Amino acid sequence: MAHPRQAQKKRSRPDPVEFVEIVDRSERPLLVMPRHTAQAQHLFMRSVLVVVYSPEHKLYLQHRSERKSAFPGCWDLSATGHILPGESRFDAATREVEEEIGLQVSQLKEVLRLPASPQTNFEFVTLYSAGRTQQTPQPNPAELQGGGFFDPDEVDCLCNQFTEYVTPALYYFWRLGVLFSK
């Protein structure tokens, strides 16, 4: 069943064309094409997700723009995005954190990797943690309508009571129990 917010596209302008590297089952690069084309054809690509915490160990969640083509207006992990052609996972993760929430991170810890499957939208997914930061996130208004730090009970409420307002990635990793693990 499709996510209820996936079909809602309240965009005032289309997303710019983003090119991604198509990979095989072993993650070897094959070719480069527009992301929307690759997704429509269910081709394998790679993405990164990053979680950022406050000094009190609250998780920063981004509130996606209503103009986004995927999951507009939903709450999502701190920073997310696709790996660009020729880019490493680490470089993609640091780029997304800076682009989306304006933070400079130099150390990331890989939490886990998921293989490409229908459940990951045919993406090889790498989840990173930036750990705790003293910096204040500055959401990019071109991509986000805001964000905030949430404690485990608040994330639990969001994921259990307002499922239609969270991305599948946030819901999945919350259910997996890796977002607040020590």
pLDDT in tens, 117-171: 998 989 999 999 999 999 999 999 999 999 999 999 999 999 999 999 999 999 9
- 150 in helix, strand or coil? strand
Whether the full predicted model's pTM is greater than 0.85, yes or no, is: yes
In a domain, 153, yes or no: yes
In a domain, 159, yes or no: yes
In a domain, 107, yes or no: yes
Name the residue range of residue 73's domain.
19-176
pLDDT at 10 over 50: no
d(CA 108, CA 71): 26
In a domain, 56, yes or no: yes
Tell me what the pLDDT averaged over the chain comes to. Answer: 91
Residues ≥6 apart with Cβ < 8 Å to 97: 50, 52, 78, 79, 103, 105, 130
Using the 8-state DSSP alphabet, how is residue 163 labeled?
Answer: G
- What number of H helices and E strands is found in the chain? 4, 9
Closest CA to 79 of 13, 167, 154, 9: 167
In a domain, 76, yes or no: yes
Instruction: Report the CATH number that the domain containing residue 74 is assigned in CATH.
Output: 3.90.79.10
pLDDT of 9: 41
46 band by pLDDT with thresholds 50, 70 and 90: very high
In a domain, 36, yes or no: yes
In a domain, 49, yes or no: yes
pLDDT at 97 over 80: yes
Residue indicated by tokens 């160990």: 57
Distances (CA, A) of 24 to 94, 130, 168: 24, 28, 24
* Total of domains in the chain: 1
| Average confidence (pLDDT) over 47-52 | 98
